């Protein structure tokens, strides 16, 4: 039996399960993640080099998203009564079937679970095409979901190449595709899905700005700034990629930021004291080195770091950057922090908004009310004030522009792969429903 046929068979059973049954299994899955978090974190670290402390936090976050949707899915998807000229009219939320998730290596458990938890709780089933360098993580996720009591066809990890992925997308029994990855990957898969009129959600690259205005509290935001750039060795779509600092505080911020970066400890990612691990692959480190070198050729200056050897890349701070340099225009995936000097607050906010990506922006200020009045200036999917951009099961997550479209997490995320069915009834009879009586 093919994986897709198995998924379709499971869907035809799973879609009729009630929310209590789904939630029970999802809570069991959360429990397994919590119980096995050390060994699961070690698997992440072994395959892609994430420092073990960060890998443990990743597993804990996966458990959180499972519990969150177990507790809230029924409320999110209950019938919604709409007042019309009908006797009764409402919106019913129904699952659509098998959804393919094409996932990256940088958060090999979290990226998958933030799709899988809402998809399964909605009554859909999942197929995973994971990045080739985290195959062990992909197989383990499917094993855990089955171990929790889900039918084998509810979630399957497929070891397939790009050509086989394209063929799968064209199959009628596959109903939608969700992609987390590069802009190039998103364009290609969206085009393939479009040929069959399949729904897609794309969470792609980012070039998030981290803006430091003159009135920012440097004491409170410096640790945040370092974490925003260097967590997961800078290999994150929502990492701060462009630091934009108002001129009056530029020198002080740069000095103190450099001091904080010096405190990062490079070493064995399995060592709990390591705060900066290797990059996931040598070719990714070489690509980052190329972006750095091209910016230097255009006038940027390396203040500290800049050396790369295989997967080791020194934490790097770059000054004298201009808005058109690769480090300011392209997505940079690794431990390089360009620091741009803005003339004033207006200049800083304009530069922050002037980018083809639109995942998120951080603005540091003692006057958040002023920024709240200017939210329209930022097309990004998220604006975080005095905090790094991060994903949270309670909040919608996704971008605009080259960062993709659609939303994950929260109420919005669970409704992406749902048929929102309009029901309109005129009758003289009494109607009874689990959610209403008219």
Does residue 203 carry a catalytic annotation?
A: yes
Q: Distance (Å, rounded) from C-alpha 438 to C-alpha 432?
A: 7
> Which residues lie across from 358 on neighbouring strands?
400
Catalogue the long-range contacts made by 347-354 (C-beta closer than 8 Å, 24 or more residues apart): 347/246, 348/211, 348/212, 348/213, 348/244, 348/245, 348/246, 349/211, 349/374, 349/377, 351/209, 351/242, 351/244, 351/323, 352/209, 352/211, 352/242, 352/244, 352/378, 353/209, 353/377, 353/378, 353/379, 354/323
What are the DSSP E strand ranges found in 183-324? 199-203, 208-212, 240-246, 301-304, 308-309, 312-313, 316-319
Counting Cβ atoms within 10 Å, is residue 159 exposed (0-12), middle (13-18) or buried (19+)?
Answer: exposed
What are the DSSP E strand ranges found in 322-374? 336-342, 357-358, 361-364
Phi (first) and psi of residue 216, to 5 degrees: -65, 150
Q: Is 401 left (phi over 0), alpha (psi -120 to 50) or beta?
A: left
Q: Distance (Å, rounded) from C-alpha 436 to C-alpha 81?
A: 8
Q: Which of 54, 58, 183, 203 is catalytic?
A: 203
Contact 295, 326 (CB under 8 A): yes
Residue 306: both structure tokens together: 């800049």
Cβ contacts of 216 within 8 Å, gap of 6 or more: 249, 364, 365, 366, 386
Q: How far is CA 303 from the centre of its chain?
A: 31
Q: For tokens 């919590």, what's the residue?
A: 34
Residue whose C-alpha is closest to residue 11's, from 97, 77, 116: 97
Q: Which of 237, 330, 331, 408 is catalytic?
A: 237
Query: DSSP letter at 44?
Result: H
Residue whose C-alpha is closest to residue 300's, from 258, 262, 337: 337
Does residue 137 carry a catalytic annotation?
A: no
DSSP code string of 64-129: HHHHHHHHHHHHHTS-EE--SSSSEEEEEEEE--EEEEE--SSSTTHHHHHHHHHHHHTT-EEEEE
- Show which residues are catalytic: 203, 237
């Amino acid at each position: 039996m093919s994986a897709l046929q198995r998924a379709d068979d499971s869907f035809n059973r799973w879609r009729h399960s009630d929310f209590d049954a789904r939630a029970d299994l999802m809570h069991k899955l959360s429990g397994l993640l919590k119980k096995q978090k050390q060994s699961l974190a070690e698997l992440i670290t072994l395959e892609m080099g994430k420092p073990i402390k960060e890998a443990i936090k990743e597993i804990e976050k996966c458990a959180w998203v499972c519990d969150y949707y177990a507790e809230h899915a029924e409320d999110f998807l209950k019938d919604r009564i709409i007042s019309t000229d009908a006797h009764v009219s409402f919106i019913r939320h129904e699952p659509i079937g098998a959804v393919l998730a094409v996932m990256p290596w940088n958060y090999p458990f979290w990226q998958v679970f933030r799709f899988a938890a809402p998809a399964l709780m909605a009554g859909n089933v999942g197929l995973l095409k994971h990045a080739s360098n985290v195959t062990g993580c992909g197989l383990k996720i499917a094993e855990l979901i089955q171990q929790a009591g889900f039918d084998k066809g509810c979630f399957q990890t497929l070891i397939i190449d790009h050509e086989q992925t394209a063929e799968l997308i064209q199959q009628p029994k596959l109903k939608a595709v969700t992609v987390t990855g590069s802009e190039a990957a998103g364009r290609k898969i969206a085009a393939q899905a479009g040929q069959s009129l399949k729904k897609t959600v794309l969470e792609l690259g980012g070039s998030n700005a981290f803006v430091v205005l003159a009135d920012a509290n440097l004491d409170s935001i410096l640790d945040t700034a370092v974490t925003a750039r260097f967590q997961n060795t800078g290999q994150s779509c929502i990492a701060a990629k462009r630091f934009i600092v108002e001129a009056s505080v530029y020198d002080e911020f740069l000095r103190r930021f450099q001091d904080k970066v010096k405190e990062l400890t490079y070493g064995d990612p399995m060592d709990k004291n390591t705060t900066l691990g290797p990059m996931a692959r040598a070719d990714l480190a070489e690509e980052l080195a190329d972006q750095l070198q091209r910016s230097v050729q255009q006038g940027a200056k390396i203040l500290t770091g800049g050396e790369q050897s295989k997967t080791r890349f020194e934490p790097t701070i770059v000054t004298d950057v201009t808005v058109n340099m690769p480090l300011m225009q392209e997505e940079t995936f690794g431990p390089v922090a360009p620091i741009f000097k803005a003339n004033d607050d207006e200049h800083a906010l304009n530069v922050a908004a002037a980018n083809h990506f639109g995942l998120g922006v951080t603005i540091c200020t003692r006057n958040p009310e002023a920024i709240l009045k200017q939210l329209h200036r930022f097309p990004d999917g998220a604006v975080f004030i005095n905090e790094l951009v991060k994903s949270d099961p309670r909040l919608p997550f996704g971008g605009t522009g080259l960062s993709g479209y659609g939303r994950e997490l929260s109420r919005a995320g669970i409704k992406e792969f749902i048929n929102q069915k309009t029901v309109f009834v005129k009758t003289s009879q009494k109607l009874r429903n689990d959610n209403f009586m008219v």
